[in-house]
Chain A
Amino acid sequence: MIELDNVAYSYGGGELLSGITFDMQPGSFHFLTGPSGSGKTTFLKLCYGALVPTAGHVRLFDRDVRGMTRDDIAMARRRVGVVHQDVQFLDHLPVADNVALPLTVSGRTKIDELANLKELLSWVGLKSRADALPPELSGGERQRAALARAVIMSPDVILADEPTGNVDWEMSQRLLRLLVELNKMGKTIMIATHDLALIRAAKTQVQARVLRIANRQLQLAGADL
């Protein structure tokens, strides 16, 4: 579904990532770890077509991103749920509308999908906050709203960039449980994090592989975590 073939990326200076080859298997659960500034966010952006590799090839659903138009990328985004590192919303619209945004922009506003929305909001525990505006939400609520927004289109893949970055341990466990549940429903998950405790906690619930970015390369981390 997402394939990187000998990919390198540079923002203009030296190469931040180089020689990265990775094939995301359907149904897998990955953690992506590495020190701050090592390129985790950059790697995820390559995975959802926000960045085009400076060398090598990235294929989204069997199409090379270099040959995709902006509209093609937009269509691919509907199949990849992304939880951004700095989650952003349309601050003038209530939470429910924000969560339903992917449906709205793709013209899918049928009744049954709106019923889905209610279910989804209670699944992430935001049912009572449906009418709140995003700036009124706590950090954990924002992360959960972002997760709900990422999954409402029922995407094949969910990429989450530091989803537990600004929340307490309790909340990060709750978010992790949601992601594990999604994986059990067949979704492919990749979580970028430098929170090793989170990874350890996950390993008790799901078969997760850990990738580490070190020296510009992507390595499969051993069982030492």
Chain B
Amino acid sequence: MKFTPSDMLSMLVGDPQADRMVPPTGFTARLTVITAAIMAFLAVFALALSLAAGRLADRWGEELARSATLRISAPAEQMADQTAAALRVLETTAGVASARALSDDEQRALLEPWFGPDVPVDTLPIPQLIEVIEGDPGFDAQGLRLRLQAEVPGAVLDDHTRWRRPLVEAASRLRLLGWTSIALIFAAMAAMITLAANAALAANAQVIAVLRLVGARDSYIAQAFVRRYTLRALSGAGIGMLAGLIAVALLPAAQAEGGFLTGLGFTGPGWLWPLIIPPLAAVVGFVATQAAARRTLRELS
């Protein structure tokens, strides 16, 4: 059994004549289209899930690898000194690309979601934050902690790893789960089309026998069925994909912070991803029907 994408294309555009050879079927045809549509609809969600989980894993993973925060708690009068001392330590630490104390405005922006816009940052005893950007290779967190302990008693290094790593792992798993679901959806679609094609081949045994008798080659006979099921898978998946895209577009918009659930959807060029679902369904329909037809035809004289 051999076929190339160009075979598939020529089959799709050419010879609707072969298609006429097999009597039209109303009910199973609609059933195939509807099932393909449902599968494509589900595939859109699985895709959205995979992409969102992927974005989350990437973003968290990247931040995890690249940045850390130094928190300095000290009496107000010592704050400036300790901050300066901490920056000096950081500047001389191998693996630290840059370090920068956050300004009052930036700190206020970070606190705003919790305390509202009018926090008097300057009068509250809140810690000073220093953003540490890691170089490549990164710094040795344990060594840095020891040095800071000696020189800046009020400093606590939070390298984010501890609490973010499990989240990144969870997001990665979710992404894997999403892609697995897509694979399973297409496998189920292949199984469904194989069943439908087998039923059609069995129902049209006489047609096949007549075609064979008058000198039709297997490829010609198979084409009549393959063309049909490929087009059904393609059109069904097209409808399902559109419905899925509309449903995803109607989800509440993601907030700037990108909480996970509200972030479910497509962003930018990500909207193009679902477009591969219908062609993929067509390929699945083509391969499944081709295999079913070849199997059936081999058993005939």
Point out residues on A near B: beta carbons under 8 Å: 45, 50-51, 70-71, 74-75, 77-78, 82, 84, 88-93, 97, 101-102, 104-106, 109, 149, 153
Selected contact of A92 from candidates B23, B217, B298, B301, CB within 8 Å: B23
CB pair B215–A45 under 8 Å, yes or no, is no
CB pair B217–A101 under 8 Å, yes or no, is no
CB pair B301–A77 under 8 Å, yes or no, is no
Q: Which residues does chain A contribute within 8 Å of B209, judged by CB atoms?
A: 88
Min distance, Cβ B254 to any Cβ of chain A, angstroms: 54
Knowing A75-B215, A78-B215, A106-B215 touch, does A88 contact B301 (C-beta < 8 A)? no
Does B17 have its Cβ within 8 Å of any Cβ on chain A? yes
Selected contact of A84 from candidates B17, B213, B297, CB within 8 Å: B213
Point out residues on B near A: beta carbons under 8 Å: 17, 20-21, 23-24, 206-207, 209-220, 297-298, 301
CB pair A74–B210 under 8 Å, yes or no, is no
CB pair B21–A90 under 8 Å, yes or no, is yes
Knowing A45-B301, A50-B301, A91-B23 touch, does A105 contact B207 (C-beta < 8 A)? no
Q: Whole-angstrom distance between the alpha carbons of A153 and B216 in the complex?
A: 13
The interface residues of chain B, by DSSP majority, are classed as: helix
Q: Which residues does chain A contribute within 8 Å of B298, judged by CB atoms?
A: 70
Closest to A80 in B: B215
Min distance, Cβ A46 to any Cβ of chain B, angstroms: 11
Q: Whole-angstrom distance between the alpha carbons of A93 and B214 in the complex?
A: 15
Q: Which residues does chain A contribute within 8 Å of B216, judged by CB atoms?
A: 74, 105-106
Closest to B216 in A: A105
Min distance, Cβ A156 to any Cβ of chain B, angstroms: 13
Selected contact of A82 from candidates B17, B213, B220, CB within 8 Å: B213
Q: Which residues does chain B contribute within 8 Å of A92, judged by CB atoms?
A: 23-24
Q: Whole-angstrom distance between the alpha carbons of A140 and B103 in the complex?
A: 101
Q: Whole-angstrom distance between the alpha carbons of A114 and B207 in the complex?
A: 22
Most buried by A among B216, B217, B219, B220: B217
Knowing A45-B301, A93-B20, A104-B17 touch, does A88 contact B218 (C-beta < 8 A)? no
